[in-house]
Structure 1
Amino acid sequence: MPFLPALWSHGLRTVGEYDWAIVSSHLFAHQARVTGVAPDRQFTYVHTPARYLWNPELDARGSTMLARAGSPVLRSVDRRRAQGLRHVAANSRFVQQRIRDTWGIDAQVINPPVGVERLAAVADWASVLDERDRAVLEALPADFVLGASRFVPYKRLDVVIDAGRASGRPVVLAGDGPDAERLRALAAESRVEVHFVCTPSDAMLAALLQRAAVYVFPPVEDFGILPVEALALGTPVVANAEGGARDSVQEGTSGTLLHDLADSTLAAAVDGAVRLDPAACRARAAAFSTERFQREIAEWTGIPVGGQTG
């Protein structure tokens, strides 16, 4: 970690000569300086400032003794170099505020592209599943609450189990990862029916999102692609009120927002979400299309997508 700032600030000097650059930044990539590119021709698209430096409560890597010892110096370097940027965009309003709080600069918001067109092109994703996946899908209960992500603690899939129990609905958890054993133990102890669909294919995940009564998204994320994919398939979303999912999940239109995790809150959120209009969910998802992203990037940089510099 101590060498990353030097790597990004000097490591791109051998890539060649260019007229302009877009830097897609996670952690320290915003510190990159591309040879021959004037500062006003470099555009930095920020997914998040380094969470383990600035928000260690959201990233356990920042809680180690070594990280705590080195963070003050690295934060100072990170902030100073970010303040030299001329054009900065954030992938959500949540990240925009984080940039303002950590680096002391303003950024415009350009939400990421989501493949809503691909999802909307298939009327019934169950119809394109192979025989094995179709059998798994048809064996699941109706009107289930869905959680889908990597099985890691910060994704808070335990909250999805709680949401199913609180609302009296069965739960499906789709994904895989190191937290699988703990989640299975929680499911066995809960008073709700829980089914696991491990390592689903893209088509299977789309079918699950389409078949679910509601998709529950509890983590604090920078943006959240899966909530938009659920909306594109007409499925309402219950999301954490803190985080980037607030850009796509509109209370009472495309979903509901969780301000706490009490059983009564979870039950009300699920019950409210399932009554929402699928057409309104799909309409909301359309605002995050790839075409929209390309248009906004072109407007931001002044360079048409696929165009040439002068």
Structure 2
Amino acid sequence: MKPKVAIVAAGSGSGETGGAERFFVGLRDALQALDLDVTLLYTPSNESDFDAVKESYLRFYDLDLSAYDGVITSKAPSYLVRHPNHVCYLQHTMRVFYDMFEVEFGKGSEELFEQRALIHTLDTAALRAPRTRKIFAIGEEVAQRLRQFNGLDAEVIRHPTSLSGFREGPFRHLFMPGRLHRWKRVDLAIDAMRHVKAPVELIISGTGEDAERFKERAAGDPRIRFTGWVSDEDLIGYYRDSLAVLFMPRNEDLGLITYEAFLSGKPVLTCADSGEPSRVVEDGVTGFVTEADPAAIAARIDQLAANPALAGTMGQKGKQVAAEVTWEKVAVALATALGLPFRRPSGDAPETDGSGADARPSAASA
């Protein structure tokens, strides 16, 4: 009988396809490819106010997962689950109570500091052994944050995008996909365009809370175009025909946009304080890493616009980088940490936790 694994996802399970949904589907498919019986469990999580946050934490704590041999969680508050064989592949904690606390709340208040302290206490207790057998992180940015705020270590394994069908095309426009939210700093790209001398268009796709604010900021610049939501087919098309992809968030956890650009043979422009993208992009090799300064960004845009061959060379090197990041590596690491026997897609013999024995606990002990 195949080992039964539950991936516990914090979300709505509404059927809408976004980055988080692609993450869980990619992880599920990769584990199934190892001949594991995998169930994706969406459980509601509400962050509209602090009472809702506490209710969400309790909801995951109360889940009955005794039918499974192993459990994998990712972002807050899913890792509050109770199971004797639990590993966490951490996407992120609730960042408003971590690195983005001052960005969102300024100096804060006594109540907000109490809320933050409670979240830190709960997260640390939930992620510490033995409640969590092992922690993996999707990037160095997440692992660093975990060490800083929770005093815990994590093994870093980056994962690829689950979107497919990327193609290489001409170097025509600048492209900035993603959520239109202040943390993504779309305004930085808009401001950079005021300094760009080349006759190049900036296409911005996606929706989000700050869409109207960004559109107002870009008003009057005919070179900036907002598309709103786009289909996967159109998204791939915009990547295909881009000169470069702009991705300049603040302290990003991973940022699959970087890998999607690379798979399309395109360089990425990011910033030194953008988190994981600034680690993935090698400055001058697979793109440019600049200061978060509109003029500095514009200078690199003009450099690529004047030399599309350079953009092509960078894109090809980025493609090599993206090829090294696979879902199989992620799945093998997680299955090994759970001590579950598995079979690689190549058809190799079943593998275990390295001890030569099946280390999984029985479902009855869960």
Q: What's the TM-score once normalised by structure 2's chain length? A: 0.68
Which of 91, 95, 100 is equivalent to 1:47? 91
After superposition, give the CA deviation of every residue in 1:229-257 in whole Å (9 maximum; x if it has no partner): 01100010011323121343122221111
Amino acid at match of 2:70: W
> Counterparts in 2 of 1:20-99, with a 5 A limit?
20-23=70-73, 25-34=74-83, 37=84, 41-57=85-101, 60=104, 67-84=112-129, 85-99=132-146
Structure 1 residue 49 displacement after superposition: 2.1
Bigger drift between 205-214 and 66-75 goes to 66-75
Q: Does 1:219 align with 2:249?
A: yes
Q: Which residue of 2 aligns with 1:288?
A: 325
Could you tell me how far apart the structure 1 residues matched to 2:205 and 2:149 are?
Answer: 34
Q: Does 1:279 align with 2:347?
A: no
Bigger drift between 175-184 and 97-106 goes to 175-184
Could you tell me how far apart the structure 2 residues matched to 1:294 and 1:55 are?
Answer: 28
Structure 1 residue 87 displacement after superposition: 0.6
Q: Which residue of 2 aligns with 1:138?
A: none
Could you tell me how far apart the structure 2 residues matched to 1:305 and 1:254 are?
Answer: 35
Could you tell me how far apart the structure 1 residues matched to 2:76 and 2:334 are?
Answer: 21
Q: Which residue of 1 aligns with 2:263?
A: 232
Structure 1 residue 79 displacement after superposition: 2.1
SS of equivalent to 1:293? helix
Amino acid at match of 1:73: L
Could you tell me how far apart the structure 2 residues matched to 1:153 and 1:224 are?
Answer: 15
Could you tell me how far apart the structure 2 residues matched to 1:250 and 1:287 are?
Answer: 15
Could you tell me how far apart the structure 1 residues matched to 2:102 and 2:325 are?
Answer: 26
Q: Does 1:207 align with 2:241?
A: no
Structure 1 residue 58 displacement after superposition: 7.2
Could you tell me how far apart the structure 1 residues matched to 2:101 and 2:343 are?
Answer: 38
Structure 1 residue 172 displacement after superposition: 1.1
Could you tell me how far apart the structure 2 residues matched to 1:305 and 1:252 are?
Answer: 40
CA contact (8 A) 2:188 2:292 kept: no
Structure 1 residue 300 displacement after superposition: 4.4
Structure 1 residue 156 displacement after superposition: 1.2
Q: Which has the higher contact order (CA 8 A, sep 6+)?
A: 2
Structure 1's 123 and 269: CA in aligned 2 closer, same or farther, altered over 3 A?
A: closer
Which of 238, 249, 261 is equivalent to 2:281? 249
SS of equivalent to 2:269? strand
Structure 1 residue 259 displacement after superposition: 2.6
Could you tell me how far apart the structure 1 residues matched to 2:210 and 2:124 are?
Answer: 34
Structure 1 residue 149 displacement after superposition: 1.2
Q: What's the TM-score once normalised by structure 1's chain length? A: 0.79
Could you tell me how far apart the structure 1 residues matched to 2:218 and 2:290 are?
Answer: 22
Structure 1's 56 and 228: CA in aligned 2 closer, same or farther, altered over 3 A?
A: same
Amino acid at match of 1:54: Y
Q: Does 1:103 align with 2:150?
A: yes
CA contact (8 A) 1:52 1:62 kept: no
CA contact (8 A) 1:145 1:216 kept: yes
CA contact (8 A) 2:138 2:254 kept: yes
Structure 1's 164 and 89: CA in aligned 2 closer, same or farther, altered over 3 A?
A: same
Gaps of 5+ in 2: 1-52, 345-349, 353-357, 359-366
Structure 1's 262 and 59: CA in aligned 2 closer, same or farther, altered over 3 A?
A: closer
SS of equivalent to 1:166? coil
Higher relative helix content: 1
Structure 1 residue 54 displacement after superposition: 1.7
> Counterparts in 2 of 1:48-197, with a 5 A limit?
48-57=92-101, 60=104, 67-84=112-129, 85-115=132-162, 118-120=164-166, 122=167, 143-168=172-197, 169-190=200-221, 193-197=223-227
Structure 1's 63 and 200: CA in aligned 2 closer, same or farther, altered over 3 A?
A: farther
What is the RMSD of the two structures over their aligned residues, measured on CA atoms?
A: 2.9
> Counterparts in 2 of 1:292-307, with a 5 A limit?
292-303=329-340, 304=342
Amino acid at match of 1:212: S
Structure 1 residue 162 displacement after superposition: 2.4
Number of aligned pairs? Answer: 282
Amino acid at match of 1:46: L
Structure 1's 219 and 27: CA in aligned 2 closer, same or farther, altered over 3 A?
A: same
CA contact (8 A) 1:119 1:233 kept: no
Could you tell me how far apart the structure 2 residues matched to 1:241 and 1:22 are?
Answer: 32
Bigger drift between 286-295 and 298-307 goes to 298-307
Amino acid at match of 1:147: M
Structure 1's 212 and 104: CA in aligned 2 closer, same or farther, altered over 3 A?
A: same
Amino acid at match of 2:69: D
* Identical residues among aligned pairs (%): 23
Could you tell me how far apart the structure 1 residues matched to 2:351 and 2:66 are?
Answer: 17
